Amino acid sequence: MTPELLPALAEAVWDDRCARVGYRRRDGTEVERELRPYGLVLKAGVWYACAWADGSFRTYRVDRFTAVAVGGERFARDPDFDLPAFWADRSREFTRSCCGPRPCCS
């Protein structure tokens, strides 16, 4: 199923535009963020946004966005950002956080 706000977020990615978003954390609290969205990833039927926010690259589940407002301000992409490498690194971190230091997570 495609999350309702995915098209607006995709527009921001394609046009290198900043986006103001509402986001519901795992614990249910809602926060607002200013994102520089670099890419979208579909993993096991779940969409994720990879974006620069609060001084670092972060990953967000798209189905947790409560609002997406694409602004007119464009951002300059970091030429060293590699989406596949970033995603692979985050996936490894997530697996380790779930498994702990077991051999299956190496």
| Mean pLDDT, rounded, of the chain | 90
pLDDT for 69 equals 97
Predicted confidence band of residue 73 (pLDDT cuts 50, 70, 90)? very high
Lowest-pLDDT range of 29-38, 76-85, 88-97: 88-97
Please give the order of strands across the beta sheet that includes 17-24.
56-61, 46-53, 30-43, 17-24, 65-74
CA 31 to the chain's CA centroid: 14
- pLDDT > 90 fraction of the chain, expressed in percent and rounded: 81
Element (H, E) at 13: helix 6-15
SS (H, E, C) 20-39: EEEEECCCCCEEEEEEEEEE
More confident position, 2 or 27: 27
How do residues 7-26 score in pLDDT, each as one tens digit?
999 999 999 999 999 999 99
Q: Quick one: what percent of the chain has pLDDT higher than 70? A: 88
DSSP H or E segment with residue 105: none
